[in-house]
Structures are given as C-alpha cells and as structure tokens.
Structure 1
C-alpha cells in the first residue's frame, strides 16, 4: 500500500526568537537551534514570541504572537486589519525604515549580480503613503455562514478572504464603496458566482470590471447600473476572458473614459480599465519628470522609449525632445499610445508594436538614430534588448525597474558593454509592501 504524503505536524508550543535581520519579503530572520526561521510580523533587532506555521527542510516559518523587545522602527499599523489581511506586509515598520530596507535590497542585488554600485545614490522618491492604490484585483466571495459577501484581499496564511469593510491603501473612492458593493452583491441572483472585481481609477473616474462565472440575469444588470449611477462609477462585465469585457454603464464613450494628467508636461493620458498603468498616481507624477530629468532631454534629442505601454513616458518625452519613438509588445497599448499622441496634439512621436525579446533587425524603427533611450520593462527585465540598445550607441540610458534582481543582472550586461552606472535609487511605488521600484542612469 502506498504511503500517504502527510504534512508534518508543527510544534504547537510558542518559541522565543531573536531577530537578526529582515528578509527581502519583509519577514524577520532568526535561528532556532542553528536552523533559520522566518517570522512574519517581526523586525530586525527584536525578540519575539512566535508560533510555528510550517517546518521545511532548510528553514521554518512562523508568525509573531508577542513582541518581547521592540525595534525603535516599529510603529502602529495604520490599518486595524493588518494582522489578518495579506494585502500589505510592512505596515508595522516605519516609512523611513521601509524605504531604507528597499534601498538595501537594491544595493545588495547590484553588488551580487552586477559587482558594481552607482557613482551616486539618488535620494529615495516617496509620495502618498496611504490611499495611493488606484488599480487592484479584489477577491469576492459570498460566505454562507456570515450570510454576506466579503470583498478584498486574502488573509495571511490562507485562501480565505479577509473580512474588511474598508482599505486604507486603496484610493478613498474605492475604499468607501467596499461595504455598499458587498450589500449590492448580497442582493444579486448570482452572488455566489462572482469571484473577483478589478478596480481601475483615473484622476476623475473609477471603473469596476466584474468577473462572473454564470450569465448575469437582466435583474442583476439593472442593479449594477443603478449602483453605478448612485456612486458615479463606470461598470464593465467580464463573463469569460479579457476579450469578453464589455461596458454596461455609462453608455456614452466620453462619459466612461478614464484618464490621468501629468501637469508638469500639460498632457492627459487616456486609458482603458484593463490597460497597464502605474498603481501609485502620486509617485507616477514625480517619477516621470524625474526620469526625464535624469535623461537630460534636450530639444534636439532623438529618444527611444522601449516597453512604452500607453505612453506614460513617451508622451511627456515628446513635449521635450525633437522626436520620440515608443515600442511596445501589446497591440492594444500601441493603439492607445497613438490615441494619446493625437489627444495631446503631438506630431513628433510614433508608436510601434514589436516583441522586444526577439530579433529586431527587420523592424523599421531599429535603423534610426537615437541618442537617448528609456526602458521600463516588466519584472523579467530587458536582457534580450540590451544588445539592440547598445547598437544605437546612446549617450544616456534611463532604466525604470520593478524588479531589482533583473535590473542588477541587466546592469552587469550594460557595464560589460561599455556603460557606467552613474546614478541609481528606489521609488516607493507600493508603500507598506515589499515591492521595490528602482531607477538607474547609465552613460557611455
């Protein structure tokens, strides 16, 4: 008879742990009898009483039950649901210490992967610490025992949704409708078949994309429209994949259009709810001019913007440079970029679709002359495009990164190809989380 694979039972008795450091994931790192233990909710320098959650071969995992000796960097979390909700993991650490921790991760990764550091460390870029999150995918679950719908993020150590009635990190107009939204779904015929709602915010409007696993009855559609009217929302339904997303209110295209403005450049960028957009509007308003200042864009410059999306950097660049070319892999984003160029009456910018991980020799835009390059890739980085970048021989490259490990890897490649890492620093795009956003300047 085959032996059943049972999970090893963990000790139930609490243990006392001295925390030596903070992991990249924001957990305290200590040792019990020489074995590494990661303790959620613990900070470097603290002594805590902890409860085992998992025991593994090389390390164990635990959660903090009681702080015996607290770090001076420990603060009261701004959200009363912090102990339960898994949406944020670092609210118990002061904002100053959070950004120092993120900076230390970038320094460590650059030293490890690139064997280098910048000639100058940039001051960390920070903005709003709460009510900053304008895009989110919220779980939805009707719970029979509670006889109501829960909306939000998963609990820590669990697949259950946290029972919350507001969220301090979501933009206020989304946080304020969580309970009314829950009550609306409670009243629907298909309340048990709505697994998630995506929220997307422009400067003036909020859109909801409602995923549903069964056809939405007409009576339920009417309720969604009434809810949208009452709260000034744009509502979309999504019965299957992204291609099935369709708007049910408002009917007028102009009234439903999401957009955000970058006042320093006097531009407005149009977006659709499922488009990629930076999550933190206040940081984005600082980051875009910051990147363009680092690139030192002049009226005669010819700039290439790779992984350009809907034109978050491309459109502002076009207000400063002679010509700008934006390249993006997703057709819909290229179309949005062209729409934004027209919307802002810019005729010195072009957008092209291309898979930037492939051979680009046949692309028409490759054979042009660029003296400056900006790249803002996904987490996987830009390793495949670096060879093409250096062919252009640009005098400056600004690299915006959402993953310090791939930034560090790509830095090593650029250094090997004759570029110097002049400046680098972190930007607090996701306060209270372990996400590290970085920016770096390379010069020939």
Structure 2
C-alpha cells in the first residue's frame, strides 16, 4: 500500500465539510469526501505537527446516504464538497455540524437540551439554484473554477449549481469567436441572471484597459446569444464600464421580486452583492419578518443592510428602519429600492458598521430590534455593541456557524437569551450554512 494511504474510520463531519478521524500515529485527520461511520482509504495531502489532511480515495464500508456525485468535475473543482452524499444526508450533516459547534461552546449552556434549534430548511431544487457564478479563464481561454487549494483552473462546460439560463449562456460562449477574443485578455468572468427579465449579463475582469474592439466583440456576443443581453468590463486599475449590447440601452441593474400579497421588487447594481439563491432568500426574508414582527411604533436597525434585502420588507410595517452598509453601490441600490417601492420611513447610511454603531450609541438612540447579516467573519467586536443598541430583540443572520457560535457566546454573556436557532440551506452540495438566530434581552439585563 502507498505509504501516503491510511485506512481510518470517520467519527463525524466537522465545520468545513471535513470528516474527522484519528490517524494511526494519533494525529487528528481531516478527510474530504467521506461520511460519518465510513471506513475509508485516505490519501494524505498535508501534514502538520498535530493534524493532517487528506481525501478519501475509497470507501471500504460505505454508509446509507452515499451516492455517486452527478458532476463530472467533482473532486477537482474547489466548489462543491458534499455531492457524495444524497440531499437528505447533506441536510443531516449540516444540522450535526451546527449542533456540534453549539454543544462544544463553553459559554452556551444546555443549548442542545431545549427546543431552540429548529430542523434545517432545505432547498428545492438542490441543483440549478445559483443566480450568478464567477469563473476564471485558463491559458487557453476556457472558463472554469479554481481547483481545491490551488490556483489552477478546472475548465468546465457547465455548472450543475447554476440556473438553466446561465448554463445556456456558458455553452454559447464557449464556441463563440467574439468571446474567444475577449477571453484572451480576461482573468475572470461573472454570469448573472436577472430574474425579472430571464436574461443573463456577462461581467469580464480584463487584464488591461478596455479597447474599442472589445466593445465591438461585446455587441457581437449579445447579437449572437439569445440568453445574453449585456456585457460589462472592469479591471483592477479601472472602474466598471458598460453595458454593451442590444443598442447599449440596458441598465446596470439586476432585480427580483419578493412574493406576497403586495409584492416588492428589489434591484441592485451589477458588481454589488445579492444572495445567489433567490428561492431560499425568499424564505429567509419571510423568517426575518416573522421573527421581528414589526409594529407601527417600532424602530429597527439593519446592520450590513446591503441593497435593503431585509430593510425594505420590514419598512412596510415599522415606524422607521435605518440601514447601515459600507459598500457604496449597495447603499445607492437600497435608496433606489425604497423610492421605487414608495417607502419614506427608511434611511440608509454608507459607513463602516463598527464606527456607525459607536456613533449611534454615543447619541443614545436605541432601537427596538437590531437585524444583522454580517459577512463570514461575523460580528467580532461588534457583538459588544449591538446588544446595547437593541431594547428588545436581536435577529442575527449568519453565513458561518463557527463565527456565529463565537458571537453568541459574547451576546449570552451580556444578558441576551437565545430563543430560536433556525438553520437554512442556502448552498446545497457545499458545507456552507446560513443560520438565523433570535435573541431577546433577558430579565436580568433589562
């Protein structure tokens, strides 16, 4: 047997999607592409003093739930890491990862002994859900994704996570002469689906400034490919320009509709942030509204508000909503969304969130509820401030369970009680997990 191959039994799956096992030398071994309870042959790829990493090359005793990954690039592409489990198994794994982090937290007592942790909300469908994908361009001009822990590009013909119009557009681009010209001077590209029109926009990161011929090729692309209606260029040393195509009359906005008795339409600038899974985003918005339960007297603070994903729906019932976000394009979009939906009781501030919260505390203007949706790094130092900004309730929307648990420890220590923990699968086929947490001020802190 290859000396780099070891046979181990997987104890559990931990955050990051790795299986945890004990190597024969006593080191902790983190294994990709395995399931709990399996005995697997593992190729060791990285060794450190107390831990090592590897990937399963053979399951000697596969467990129920293991399946053949449908993607031909699985294992090489660095995106998906749970396709070897069927979807019910993936949901169970994510629930277990979150529960493991909570139980091991030294300051969140008895978290597994009461019903605050709800069953995970799965996605339907678990494939074809992404509204946008970002791809690298290899040396031959082929679009692809980065290899796991590498800068190498794995060229792909389609992505099973992408929406159908995106894959149709990708297929058309691969054989198009105009695209080959553009690809030769492009490092990365994004394909973005506009749910309102059903069309796709293409955003290219060029290696050098835009030239007139590039604009001509962009117009050729939109004339040739029915699914594509806009092309944008940007660079590391120059701002975004465009759109080009269809008479150059298209806007730089994408949009979607929040369904309901009175639908809302939200839009954002291409190059800005939005959730990639619009179906799950709809569920998440509905959950936040049900948790906040705004009244006509409530003041709500929305931290990391983006283009108003939560602010705009909440403003329908609240007295006032204040959104804070550091990204300028997101704030522009949020203000436009308030205006287009005829809401006058919300305001949006472009600011570093930590600095803005310090200013709000200095002004002694607390809010009834604070909603926060931070990036993967979590709240960090902000955990000490948000609790003082809310009189009644905190709603924390997390995209990383490890930083979430860290922040919950701080909030619980500051007299906040956890009432609900709701995991939601925003990213099927990957280990990533969205979690919504409702906290209320405990009596001792009131």
The partner residue of 1:371 within 368, 371, 379 is: 368
CA distance in 2 between partners of 1:353 and 1:164 (Å): 38
Shift of 1:260: 0.9
TM-score scaled to structure 2, two decimals? 0.88
Whether the aligned pair in 2 keeps the contact of 1:30 and 1:37 (CA below 8 Å) is yes
- 1:291-302 equivalences in 2 (<5 Å): 291-302=288-299
Shift of 1:436: 1.8
Whether the aligned pair in 1 keeps the contact of 2:29 and 2:52 (CA below 8 Å) is yes
- Match of residue 6 from structure 2: 15
Q: Is it true that 1:270 corresponds to 2:267 in the alignment?
A: yes
- Match of residue 95 from structure 2: 103
- Match of residue 218 from structure 2: 224
Instruction: List 4+ stretches of structure 1 deviating above 6 A.
Output: none
SS in structure 1 at match of 2:155: coil
CA deviation digits over 1:34-57, x for unaligned, max 9?
233333222211122333323333
SS in structure 1 at match of 2:138: strand
Q: For residues 392 and 81 of structure 1, do their structure 2 counterparts lie closer, same or farther at Cα, with a shift above 3 Å needed?
A: closer
The partner residue of 1:59 within 22, 44, 51 is: 51
CA distance in 1 between partners of 2:179 and 2:352 (Å): 45
SS in structure 2 at match of 1:358: helix
Q: For residues 384 and 140 of structure 1, do their structure 2 counterparts lie closer, same or farther at Cα, with a shift above 3 Å needed?
A: same
Q: Which moved more, 1:368-377 or 1:213-222?
A: 213-222
Q: For residues 113 and 199 of structure 1, do their structure 2 counterparts lie closer, same or farther at Cα, with a shift above 3 Å needed?
A: farther
Q: For residues 66 and 405 of structure 1, do their structure 2 counterparts lie closer, same or farther at Cα, with a shift above 3 Å needed?
A: closer
Unaligned runs of 5+ in 2: 442-446
Which structure ranks higher in relative contact order (CA pairs < 8 Å, sequence separation ≥ 6)? 1
Q: Is it true that 1:421 corresponds to 2:412 in the alignment?
A: no
Q: Which moved more, 1:339-348 or 1:375-384?
A: 375-384
- Match of residue 68 from structure 1: 60
Shift of 1:222: 1.9
SS in structure 2 at match of 1:430: coil
Q: For residues 211 and 120 of structure 1, do their structure 2 counterparts lie closer, same or farther at Cα, with a shift above 3 Å needed?
A: same
Q: For residues 404 and 156 of structure 1, do their structure 2 counterparts lie closer, same or farther at Cα, with a shift above 3 Å needed?
A: closer
Unaligned runs of 5+ in 1: 1-9, 144-148
SS in structure 2 at match of 1:177: helix
Q: Is it true that 1:259 corresponds to 2:255 in the alignment?
A: yes
CA distance in 1 between partners of 2:121 and 2:329 (Å): 30
CA distance in 2 between partners of 1:86 and 1:370 (Å): 42
- 1:82-231 equivalences in 2 (<5 Å): 82-111=74-103, 112=105, 114-116=107-109, 117=111, 119-127=115-123, 128-143=125-140, 149-156=141-148, 158-184=150-176, 188-189=180-181, 191-203=183-195, 204=197, 205-229=199-223, 230-231=225-226
Q: Is it true that 1:243 corresponds to 2:239 in the alignment?
A: yes
Shift of 1:360: 4.1
CA distance in 1 between partners of 2:378 and 2:348 (Å): 21
- 1:302-341 equivalences in 2 (<5 Å): 302-341=299-338
CA distance in 2 between partners of 1:189 and 1:165 (Å): 18
Q: Which moved more, 1:10-19 or 1:282-291?
A: 10-19
- Match of residue 350 from structure 1: 347
CA distance in 2 between partners of 1:417 and 1:201 (Å): 43
- Match of residue 29 from structure 1: 20
TM-score scaled to structure 1, two decimals? 0.88
Shift of 1:247: 2.4
Shift of 1:185: 6.2
SS in structure 1 at match of 2:69: coil
Q: For residues 114 and 312 of structure 1, do their structure 2 counterparts lie closer, same or farther at Cα, with a shift above 3 Å needed?
A: farther
